[in-house]
Chain A
Amino acid sequence: MEKEKVITTKQLTKQFGDFTAVNGISFEVHKGEIFGFLGANGAGKTTAIKMLCGLLAPTSGEAAVAGFDVYKQAEKIKKNIGYMSQKFSLYDDLTVRENMRLFAGIYGMDRKTIKQRTEEKLKQLELEPQADDLVNSLPLGWKQKLAFSIAIFHDPKIVFLDEPTGGVDPLARKQFWEMIYTAAHNGITIFVTTHYMDEAEYCDRVTIMVDGEIKALDTPGNLKETYEAESIDEVFYKLARTATRKAD
């Protein structure tokens, strides 16, 4: 069965002057897939994601995200993706409920849907008693879960997660990944960028970028087999060590 493709890129390239940040990357991401995007600092990860999110026009190549062209339909792409980073996702000085409403409002959802879905999400997260507390007062693990549910509040086709579980306790982390699995099961494609390799082990497929190029793309299991490594960390180390480009 041919799976629906949510992201396709062909020879996607971005140059800044003489410097080729992303050099002809081609890959496909399927609907409901958890796709890990790994790379050291300066490998071109951020540039690639900016292009996929419609924030940066590619120099050459093709890319379609959620069925929209990155050159011409950037605004439509933005409407169909969600984004969550470890650093910035929520307003600390707003309450849980206010944060939900704010982000839903940004995506132009109507009031009735927002209201209904807010209650739904609060229930799912078991955050009803804390609904009117400032986000600031929540433990980190809850904040991250909340941030994720807000990132998928508007039912995006794809959600981009930037180092989603850094710094949380292992239990909260497991719960977080359960949420991600559920979202993926419900058809949301998960695009995870991280440089913590044990996070990569949770992904369905993983790509490793080195010097602006994709050096490996496979399931974590196959990658470990191919590179005769015990962990993705080791696979990454073997590949990234060959990098000639330094983030410096």
Chain B
Amino acid sequence: MNAVSVEHITKTYLQKEQKKEKKVTALDDVSFTVDKGELFGIIGPDGAGKTSLFRILTTVLLADSGKASVEGLDVVKDYRKIRDRVGYMPGKFSLYQDLTVEENLNFFATIFNTTVKKNYELIKDIYVQLEPFKKRRAGALSGGMKQKLALCCALIHKPSILFLDEPTTGVDPVSRRDFWDMIKKLKEQDIAILVSTAYMDEANMCEKIALIQKGNILTVSSPEKITSEFDQPLLAVRSDDMYQLLYDLRANKAVKEAYPFGAYYHVIPEDANKTKELEAYLQQKGQKDLEVKPIKANIEDSFIALMKKND
């Protein structure tokens, strides 16, 4: 039995826009499965349909068509049973800002018919960091602390599957890293975790990812597999005049694509074996301190390539 199975899910919204109503497709015939105990990432920009997907799986939203199940339970028919066993952390950290850390946690424990004591083991590692602030109101916590508290609240009833919708948005890098460490530890407890993010660099933290764009799943696989399937040669290029370099690159017919990537441009040449020619061309154009090196694609490169293929 899969932890999550999604078959041909489609969801549309009506959006009001200058008096006329427009149909917006949030999810377009989406299918994938998540194995038991897997750390599964749903990676895509804002508006790709991540939140709609999470809401359908957590039974708070109905799909227009298609089938989905969580731990073998149908999200429409068995929604009550699903609600008993999933942990959900929506996009905004849904805490009661005017309740203290302790009160929030106790409250969420009781609504799931349990106590903090009973499942303390599970949240212990996270909660010790919150302990010094337990009398503080949730509203007065920093982004990172709020995120930790929200995670504790979602875990307190020992769910067998955890849905985390953009848990790292607006959280500083240190907390972000701490957060992924916590998630990895949770994985050892055999909890299946679905996590969504708009940040491509977080893809590598997951065992398996689905890249999603405009309601379409571009691919589902392990991050290593996705990047290894990048089937074009890729170069990283830089020089002392980056502005001019981009024009020079794009003016060359042997260059299929060139786009900024950190301190470099990533360049997809027509022919991988003609790197030397490209270098010579750029030097002839007057580029100094030139650096051209073949590199392996990362998730962002793959995402762009898949996006283009999909269009």
Contacts and interface: CB of A to CB of B under 8 A. Distances in A.
A and B, direct touch (CB closer than 8 Å) = yes
Given A166-B198, A184-B243, A177 B307 contact: no
Contacts of A177: 260
B304 A178 contact: no
A205 to B, nearest CB: 11
Given A195-B173, A198-B201, A247-B144, A169 B45 contact: yes
Interface string A222-248: 000000000001001100110100111
Interface string A133-147: 110110111000000
B141 interface: yes
Contact of B144 (A41, A134, A198): A41
Given A169-B303, A170-B304, 5 more contacts: A136-B17, A170-B45, A174-B259, A174-B260, A243-B174
A170 B200 contact: yes
B213 interface: yes
B15 to A, nearest CB: 9
B174 A181 contact: no
Contacts of B246: 178, 181
Contacts of B98: none
A173 B81 CA distance: 41
Contacts of A233: 173, 177, 201
Contacts of B141: 248
Given A174-B304, A177-B260, A197 B174 contact: no
Contacts of B17: 134, 136-137
B143 interface: yes
Interface residues of B, number: 38
A201 interface: yes
Contact of A221 (B136, B175, B263, B307): B263
A147 to B, nearest CB: 14
A240 B44 contact: no
Interface residues of A, number: 42
B29 to A, nearest CB: 20
Interface in A177-202: 177-178, 181-182, 184-185, 195-198, 201-202
Interface in B1-27: 17-18
B263 A202 contact: yes
A201 B262 contact: yes
Interface of A: 40-42, 133-134, 136-137, 139-141, 166-172, 174, 177-178, 181-182, 184-185, 195-198, 201-202, 219-221, 233, 236-237, 240-241, 243, 246-248
B47 A140 contact: yes
Contact of A202 (B136, B198, B243, B262): B262
A82 B172 CA distance: 25
Contacts of B304: 170-171, 174
Contacts of B142: 41-42, 246-248
Nearest to A87: B170
13 contacts: A40-B172, A167-B45, A167-B198, A169-B48, A170-B200, A170-B303, A171-B307, A172-B45, A174-B259, A174-B261, A220-B263, A233-B201, A241-B174
A240 B174 contact: yes
Contacts of A248: 133, 136, 141-142, 145
B247 to A, nearest CB: 10
A245 B68 CA distance: 46
A223 to B, nearest CB: 11
Contacts of A219: 263
Interface in B251-308: 259-263, 300, 303-304, 307-308
Nearest to B22: A137
A197 B263 contact: no
